[in-house]
A and B are shown apart, each in its own frame.
Chain A
């Protein structure tokens, strides 16, 4: 097995806070990998660094055999890494279908100025977009403004438009956060299906342990910006350092 996405010794400080401190993770091709850790352990920062929203102070990000450290977010997406956000981010004043089409454009670079203004170049994405909306189950709302969707539907839309460009890796930031149990199962099923049918690799941050343990083949634990344990769910679940990190027993002795 080869690592499709890996980071090497990532460092990132905000003022005096060391958000990432030698974070080294590897996600293997075709895996559904989990990233867990207490609040403030650097999970979202790690996502931001991988997807180009933040520049690391030191360290490298590798996608296959390509270094993508410091690549701009649009280039990272074009390279094949899609992501969702912890607080869902959709284009509220565009329709659901238009939201999908925004993502579709990364795939085909217009050849000249005229095709930039043309419609034909992206109308053929429409069918694919509708299929994906159907896949996540919100195709009926295609013509609604995305801002009128419920929180759970927004999560599904965000997942759907990341899928438009057919990324090799999808980073999900708390896909099960703040949604009802039925929907959590629905989302987990979609992830499994994508992973099985298309071989899409996932890296997901999640606090819902049931969700993570049921879905992920490997789990990496982040604490104070450093990866402390990595392995299959059963190993990670019983690791003392994980229990410490999560239970946070000795608050007073916390080195931070």
Chain B
């Protein structure tokens, strides 16, 4: 029954997102859709690596910017124009994947805080390179080839391309989650040394996830570049991009596929809307608000909307009866045997 419901819900969702730009044709509205889908892709891409492995990457902008620059440089140097530029998307993804290899080999040698710091360092290295090399156009950045499309429907092809990326990324995230590969990633998240002691080739597995995530982020970075027609070092390699992805994932539910999607669908339109409000003009006020949301999420909703919501639903459904039969086999200790309500809390190792 619930499977049927889920299937119907998924089909309805797909129908809605496909029909959206046909129903709301106003470019100001479809613009929201394009950006929301770009961030659904980027947040889900982040989640494939960071959500599964527990390695929080704050260097995704390295891929985003590199994908944008790869497309810009290739289009400029090879004189590619018009819709043919979209054929460069695989190239951008390949560049993202290629960069992820040395980046990952260096950063994935260390864990936790050190890993985060190294991803930030890589981010700054790439931003500085974009500023200082001549082939990147220095501080003025790169423009994209002009697309001779009417303004009224300009957004729509981008909407569907971003939608294809978002759907593909969610599908990959789902495949990873249910596969042996995903299981190994989550084993690494829980206890990497133990996983290695059980035959998991940790570096290879982590690096693969990082490369997948890098390729996806670079691809959507290229889409973003062609959509807004330009990239500068500070917009392509934007520290806020990284923080936004983390906020989206944490708001929706860290490590959960639907959580990253939901977080992006909430945060990105909200940011865009705030930036159009006179009170928030200049954008910096909306950043303060995002920072506030981040604090609230981390303090009061540390596991995000989706897991917390799911728990509430389970609690509601199973009220009045024990969700799981108490443990009585050998080795169980009445004092430490799990009470049904404490199982969810045990997940986080009592971190709350």
Contacts and interface: CB of A to CB of B under 8 A. Distances in A.
Do these two chains interact?
Answer: yes
Interface in B297-352: 324-325, 327-333, 336-338, 342-343, 346-349
A169 B262 CA distance: 48
Q: Which of B197, B325, B346: most chain A Cβ within 10 A?
A: B197
Interface stretch (A3-11, A70-78, A226-234): A70-78
Interface stretch (B5-13, B61-69, B186-194): B186-194
B199 A105 contact: yes
Interface residues of B, number: 41
Contact of B180 (A121, A140, A147): A121
A189 to B, nearest CB: 11
A155 to B, nearest CB: 8
Interface in A122-153: 122, 137-141, 144-145, 147-153
A110 to B, nearest CB: 7
A77 B197 contact: yes
B324 to A, nearest CB: 7
Contacts of B189: 93
A224 B197 CA distance: 26
User: Contact size class for A?
Assistant: 35 or more
Interface in A79-109: 82-83, 85, 89-94, 98-99, 101-103, 105-107
A67 B195 CA distance: 23
A33 interface: no
B346 A119 contact: no
A186 B331 contact: yes
A94 B186 contact: yes
Contacts of B330: 137, 182-183, 186
A181 B185 CA distance: 36
Contacts of B190: 90-94
A113 B328 CA distance: 42
Q: Which of B180, B187, B202, B343: most chain A Cβ within 10 A?
A: B180
A156 B349 contact: no
B1 interface: no
A94 B187 contact: yes
Contact of A117 (B175, B186, B187, B338): B175
A7 B216 CA distance: 47
Contacts of A150: 327, 331-333, 336-338
Contacts of B176: 117
B200 interface: yes
Interface string A149-192: 11111011000011001000000000000011011001000000
B199 A165 contact: yes
Contact of B331 (A53, A99, A152, A161): A152
A106 B200 contact: yes
Given A140-B327, A144-B338, A102 B333 contact: no
B171 to A, nearest CB: 11
B3 interface: no
Q: Which of B325, B332, B348, B349: most chain A Cβ within 10 A?
A: B332
B293 interface: no
Contacts of B325: 140
Contact of A105 (B175, B180, B331, B346): B180
B179 interface: yes
A165 B327 CA distance: 27
A90 B200 contact: no
Nearest to A123: B180
Nearest to B333: A150
A201 interface: no
B315 to A, nearest CB: 16
Contacts of A246: none
Contact of A152 (B200, B202, B332): B332
B199 A92 contact: no
A52 B23 CA distance: 61
Given A93-B347, A137-B331, A183-B331, A106 B337 contact: no
Contacts of B181: 116-117
A74 B191 contact: no
Sorted nearest first, the 9 A-B pairs with minimum C-beta distance are A106-B199, A91-B190, A148-B338, A152-B331, A150-B336, A73-B196, A89-B194, A103-B198, A148-B346
Interface of B: 175-176, 178-181, 183-184, 186-187, 189-191, 193-202, 324-325, 327-333, 336-338, 342-343, 346-349
Interface of A: 51, 53, 72-74, 76-78, 82-83, 85, 89-94, 98-99, 101-103, 105-107, 110, 116-119, 121-122, 137-141, 144-145, 147-153, 155-156, 161-162, 165, 179-180, 182-183, 186
10 contacts: A77-B196, A83-B197, A92-B347, A94-B183, A102-B195, A117-B176, A145-B346, A147-B347, A152-B333, A161-B198
